[in-house]
Structure 1
Amino acid sequence: MRCPYCGNDSTEVIDSREVPNESSTRRRRQCNDCKHRFTTYEKPDFAGVTVIKRDNTRESFNRDKVLSGILKACEKRKISREAMDRVVDKIEAKINGNDIKEIKSSAIGDMVVKELFKLDSVAYIRFASVYKNFDSPDEFKEVVKLFEKGKRKEKKEKK
């Protein structure tokens, strides 16, 4: 690991911890040359996962692309960046946990919709409207009805 302060390649790990509820490791490092300390986070590499898009083109899984869609859906909502990162972490964990090499973009979209459903109603509807390519207000009404029905069902199950 290169020191961000002096550029030296020689650093050592002082402390290493798993980050709770995430698939990452936090490491505290110290440069052997300038003695500055800094923190790094390591996450699993999903470069081996190929996403099959709607037009059947293929590209490598890109966490930032998933996060970008979630950020747009959650814009101007009181949702922390950490909560949005956790959604992406859950999706990555599902993909990685199933040892998937190829996944359809629609399957990723379905995972995002399910997680946003739990997180925030407006973000869920925003994402669903783009993901499902809504053409009319009636489609919005239908999704709102489904959301309300799902929330009522969730409340009954918790009792």
Structure 2
Amino acid sequence: MHCPFCQSEDTKVVDTRVSEDGYSIRRRRECVVCSKRFTTQESMVLMVVKRDGSSEPFNREKVVSGVRKACKGRPIEEELLKQLGIHVERDLRSRGVAEVKAEEVGLAILEPLRLLDEVAYMRFASVYQHFNSLEDYSKAIDQLHAARLHE
């Protein structure tokens, strides 16, 4: 690690802390040469493979943004959307893989969104699962009813 002040490679770690979400580590470092301190952040990058084959780093805010659109006009607090994003990220990271398909991200959103708000779930599912007919909606509603009976 190079000191951002004097460019020396001789630095030492003074303090290490795990971030609130548990997926990154914050290190406080001190340069042995100039004695200035600076902070670094380390995290494992979870990659999402998109439908076109390209990859991009997982972005929890993109999950929250997509769910927020499905929840438009619904009585859902922003904090609950953030918690859903954290839940989805934990689910994906717990799989122990470096890459997930975009489809897996969408599937990971469906169940926690169903538990949060069934109307938002239907909106999200209709776009994500490409509903094309009333029968598609009818099947999804029947599945919601069946899920309620099993809770």
What TM-score does the superposition give when structure 1 sets the normalisation length?
Answer: 0.66
Aligned to 1:114: 111
1 CA distance for matches of 2:92 and 2:135?
Answer: 33
The alpha-carbon deviation at position 53 of structure 1 amounts to: 1.3
The alpha-carbon deviation at position 68 of structure 1 amounts to: 1.0
Q: Output the aligned Cα RMSD.
A: 2.6
- Can you list the C-alpha shifts for 1:31-90, whole angstroms capped at 9, x where unaligned? xxxxxxxxxxxx9846x1110112222111111211111001111111111111101001
2 CA distance for matches of 1:133 and 1:45?
Answer: 34
Is 1:72 equivalent to 2:54 in the alignment? no
The 3 A distance-change label for structure 1 pair 116 and 79 is same
Give the counterpart of 1:127 among 124, 127, 133.
124
Larger Rg: 2
Aligned to 1:49: 46
CA contact (8 A) 2:92 2:108 kept: no
Count residues with an aligned counterpart: 119
Give the counterpart of 1:102 among 80, 95, 99.
99
The 3 A distance-change label for structure 1 pair 44 and 150 is farther
Q: Which runs of 5+ in 2 are unaligned?
A: 1-16, 23-40
Identity %: 32
Aligned to 1:145: 142
